[in-house]
Structure 1
Amino acid sequence: MTDFSNVNALAFDYFGTIGNKLALASMVDEHFPGKGNGFTKLWFATIQRYCFQTGMMERYMPWEDLTRAAFRLAAFESEMDVPDEFRDELIAADETLPVYGDAHRGLSRLASKYQLYVLSMGSASMIRKSQANSAIDGFFAGILTTQEAAVYKPGRRAYEVGLEGIGLPREQICFVSGNSFDVLGSKNFGFPTIWVRRYGQPLDELGLKPDLIVGDLEEMANVLGA
């Protein structure tokens, strides 16, 4: 296993790593029975694709606009006529998104050994509300967002936001994500990396590998001795 003894800070992606975005599927099912899981997966995949596209075009689109555009396309492709009120309710649900069951205990243990940060593409205010709603806000030293640099992951500039905001040498910051593209982007940038592989999904085959793979944050705390 990779030696993490030089690591002093952990930078977490938030949605899909700590915040359980698939919890939104149940909200969709209430209005569109049987559509929740498929729609939310398509919506998130479209968000990711739009992040990649706007990054390659060097044409930044604010997060709120991007997520709404992705929502509209996903709804169209899913043949769902979504009322504006429900769309707004679903998008706003990010602020009260529940965390994974392992998050509170795992973060509590990790915070006893490391400085914890969030490095997200979402807005800082949205993440603060989600953290406070789940009583995990006290574990974090700060929230960093790529919106500050008008970029999206997995571009290198997105991870520079974390490096600059935390203020430690690169090798002392370990990046943690539940998303394969994000783990590999941070690995390419030069961070030590941990992939929280929650759903048994395959790693993108791009010639890079995370330094550690765990199933959840409590397992991560166990491995790191926190």
Structure 2
Amino acid sequence: MEKLKDIKLCVFDAYGTLFDINSVTKQYCEELGDIAEPFSNLWRSKQLEYSWLRSLMNRYEDFWCVTEASLDYALDYFNIKNEFFKINLLKAYENINCYEEVPTTLSKLNERGLLTAILSNASPSMLHMAIKNSKIDCHIDSCLSVDNLKIYKPHPTVYSLISEKYDLNKNEILFVSSNSWDVAGAKSFGFNVSWINRFNNKKEVLPFECDIELKSLMDLPNIL
């Protein structure tokens, strides 16, 4: 397997990379029935769409507000009129689970003396809850949110937060994401990038490709 040299810091995207977005709706498969998967996919796609639109319009709201608004859209799209169900879904999002391999992977990186950080579109409170619920706080050296800038990834100023935080060259930083649009943004900024392609998605038709594609975070220590 191809390896990257001189990496001192691994920066992770949060949702979809460390934290399993689908774990939220999986708790309510019985209530959602056949629409569970399309409901989850629509909620996520609208969440991203609304964050990008707000960036383009210079109308920032934090990611929790965007998450609730996109949930409202999904509920309306599937004609679900149940405020109690909405509240439960939002509570489940607050207690989102990490992927099974995350604690072990982070632990291995720590053992090798690598720094680990999170760079996310999520608000600080969302990240705090997700990290605490997943019990990975002891493995993360720093957690950076776009909330300080009031603009969302993949805007280049977001990735610059890492360069401002750490006195490292870009070639000493590995950015890790399962989101192909995030991969393109980080690569465009100049980071080494690993794409965690868990679901065998097609590559984006963009001029910024990842350096290494992996199927799981479990494989990450093997490339460093």
Q: TM-score interval w.r.t. the shorter chain?
A: over 0.9
Equivalence map 1:54-203=2 (5 Å): 54-81=54-81, 83-113=82-112, 114-203=114-203
The one-letter amino acid paired with 2:24 is L
Cα offset, 1:209, TM superposition? 0.6
Q: Is the 8 A contact 1:149 1:161 kept in 2?
A: no
Cα offset, 1:2, TM superposition? 6.7
- 1:177-212 Cα offsets, whole Å, 9 max, x none, are 010000111111111101011111112111221011
Q: 1:208 matched to which residue of 2?
A: 208
Query: Counterpart of 1:90 in 2: which secondary structure?
Result: helix
- Aligned mates of 1:63, 1:135 — CA distance in 2: 22
Query: Counterpart of 1:34 in 2: which secondary structure?
Result: helix
The one-letter amino acid paired with 2:59 is R
Matched, 1:14 2:14: yes
Identity %: 27
- 1:158-184 Cα offsets, whole Å, 9 max, x none, are 111222223423222211001000011
Q: Is the 8 A contact 1:196 1:215 kept in 2?
A: yes
Q: Is the 8 A contact 2:159 2:189 kept in 1?
A: yes
Q: TM-score with structure 2 length normalisation?
A: 0.93
- 1:41-75 Cα offsets, whole Å, 9 max, x none, are 11100111112211222221221221111111122
Query: Counterpart of 1:19 in 2: which secondary structure?
Result: coil
- Aligned mates of 1:53, 1:34 — CA distance in 2: 30
- 1:62-120 Cα offsets, whole Å, 9 max, x none, are 21221111111122222222x22321221232332111121121111112221000001
- 1:139-165 Cα offsets, whole Å, 9 max, x none, are 110110011110101111111122222
Q: 2:37 matched to which residue of 1?
A: 37
Cα offset, 1:20, TM superposition? 0.7
Cα RMSD for the two superposed structures? 1.7
The one-letter amino acid paired with 1:80 is I
Query: Counterpart of 1:35 in 2: which secondary structure?
Result: helix
Q: TM-score with structure 1 length normalisation?
A: 0.92
- Aligned mates of 1:50, 1:182 — CA distance in 2: 15
Q: Is the 8 A contact 2:62 2:122 kept in 1?
A: no
Question: Which portions of structure 1, spanning 4 or more consecutive aligned residues, are displaced by more than 4 angstroms?
Answer: none
Q: Is the 8 A contact 2:2 2:223 kept in 1?
A: no
Q: Is the 8 A contact 1:196 1:214 kept in 2?
A: yes
